[in-house]
Amino acid sequence: MKARIRQLIASFGGLSTDVQNVQDDADLYRVGLKSHACVELMLALEDEFQIEFSDEMLTRATFRSVNAIEKAVEALCARAAAA
């Protein structure tokens, strides 16, 4: 899952550095993630994983790092599978 998330970050995140060189817990906003790119990334994640981020999840914390994104996506995938 992390590899897929990293591919989407590379395509939509607009980072100032290669996402492959970013640690899983590094702050993506510090390496160039901007609010507009974050929205594009969120939409790409929703399409890729067939999920929908709830309003409560639309915070900087949700998209702060690769680990944070993975945790959110896993929770949403589990919720979708249980429905």
Note the pLDDT tens digit of each residue in 13-39: 999 999 999 999 999 999 999 999 999
* H-state helical runs in the chain: 2-12, 35-49, 66-82
**What pLDDT does 35 receive?**
92
**What pLDDT does 19 receive?**
95
Average pLDDT of the chain is 96
Torsional sign, CA 29, 31, 36, 41 = negative
Higher pLDDT, 75 or 82: 75
13, 33 contact by CB (below 8 A)? yes
Domains in the chain, start-ordered, CATH in brackets? 2-82 (1.10.1200.10)
**What pLDDT does 83 receive?**
78
pTM of the model: 0.95
